[in-house]
Amino acid sequence: MTLCVYVIPRREKHPNSRLFWDKLASLWASKLMALCVRKLDRKVTWDDPRKDEPWLGPNDLRADALSDLLTDANKLSVWVERDEVSLRRILAAVAAKRDLLVKLDFIVFDFAILGQIGIEHEQVAGDTQDSVVNACHVDLVQLTAEKLSNFGSRIRAARKAERYQHKTVAQLIQDSLDRGFIDRNLLKPAVAAKMRAP
């Protein structure tokens, strides 16, 4: 907020260096509005309440969905989108490290949610085959069961879970291979077999 109060008047005051102020404002906005993504396994458990689920409130999270938020040492792995690293590239990297070429379920959420519910995070390098994407990896840390459940409810209420069918996933990985983001030799055999020959 302080930055907002500072940047906007300066931008108006110095029209010649508008580009600089715009960039600064964009940086500030991207920090606040950064999108994150969490990989899921069972998208269907994140869907809106169905007619046969009167016990489930519109913003509630099914207990089954918690299995997609499996923690280790009270940490949960998420990815943060950046200007130079698109969501597609992150998802391609995540899919490329798997044993099999299958569908990819995921949910996108606003980074700001973490601050709103008091979840701490740490920047920890990811373990995909795309080194640039690895720098976008964040661990949510010091998670309690309550915080985790709250986190799940908040991200479910904010956006719908999404799915890329396995053929779309193949295109994503192929794109990263073609651009040299991922080394073909590091793919698991079952995934490599589905990719176009170099």
Residues that bind another protein (CB under 8 A): 39, 41-45, 47-48, 50-52, 64, 67, 70, 95, 98-105, 160, 163, 165-167
Dihedral sign computed on CA atoms, order 125, 126, 127, 128: negative
CB-nearer residue toward another protein: 100 or 125: 100
Phi, psi (rounded to 5 degrees) for 190? -65, -30
Within 8 A by CB and 6+ apart from 71, the residues are 143, 148
Measured CA to CA, the distance from residue 145 to residue 126 in angstroms comes to: 24
| DSSP letter string, 31-65 | HHH-EEEEEES-GGGGSPPPTT-TTS-TT---GGG
Of 7 and 38, CB closest to another protein? 38
Nearest approach in angstroms of CB 94 to another protein is 9
Nearer to another protein, 89 or 111 (CB): 89
| Smallest distance from another protein to CB 114, Å | 23
- Please, which residue, 7 or 40, has the CB nearer to another protein? 40
Distance of closest approach, residue 47 Cβ to another protein, in angstroms: 4
